[in-house]
Amino acid sequence: MRVGVIGAGGRMGRLIVKLCHEAKNMEVVAASEVPGSELIGQDAGELAGIGSIGVTVEGDAETVIQTVDVAIEFSIPTATAQHAKLAAKHNTAYVTGTTGLDANQEAELASAGKKIPIVYAPNMSVVVNVFMNLVERVASILDPEYDIEIMEMHHKHKIDAPSGTAVGLGKAAARGRGVNLDDVAIWSREGETGERPDGAIGFATLRGADVVGEHTVMFAGAGERLELVHRCTDRSLFVRGAVRSASWIHGKPAGLYTMNDVLGL
């Protein structure tokens, strides 16, 4: 399988290059970075710490997309939405773990998914997706008298908040309750906020140092509290999920898939 890596110079991109190169059924044949990046022209394998693989980092994502079977991307929302359109244009399967997409950008992915197979997940860790299924199940069992609060912490360089995983956990809880997250979410609190609304799903965001990712979902009832917690200490877990998704999606019909589809959950 010919794989292209968009954002190959980033922390996630370098890991994708490394793991795809090590996979028996994949070959990294193209890679790109944002136009103007000082990494353009360098060997993607050298950047990934595995030695030269003969793949030069380009400054144009479309060059990558049009020459591969599957494109994998971890970048920023505006770029991801644009690249999904290009993947649809060139009939290239597409896997993205980019977080922070808004409703319009997710709609653009859904539109592209009518033409090509796409895997889109706020977190590609296998365990996190089991975690999300547990949250949905618990939320469906406990009635709205149990207040749901979601707390997340990441490294100080993360640019979006709350994390895509936290939002995904919120959506899972909302599905369990049979409601729309946008109708019940409290994204932040400051000043005189008044009493907590019944049925709300609250979020708290922490940033600091080099924390890879920690998420806690609390179901707080009178006299008791249930906490579901996931802590990640190795970001390669996300990349392994992306590589697994790329292997799974090859040859699949058009559609917007999630990690639940990849894992058969």
* Residues labelled as active-site residues: 154, 158
On the CB side of 192, CA atoms within 13 Å amount to: 0
Residue where the block lists tokens 């005189």: 192
Angle CA 48–52–57, to nearest 5? 65
Amino acid at the residue 53:
I
Give the pair of three-digit tokens for residue 109.
């992915």
70: closest CA among 247, 253, 257?
Answer: 247
Query: Using the 8-state DSSP alphabet, how is residue 43 labeled?
Result: B
CA distance 209 to 245: 30
Burial of 249 (0-12, 13-18, 19+ CB in 10 A): buried
Q: Which helix (H) or strand (E) holds 112?
A: helix 103-112
Supply the angle between the helices 236-249 and 11-22 in degrees, to the nearest 10: 50
Give the pair of three-digit tokens for residue 193.
């906020």
CA distance 166 to 180: 15
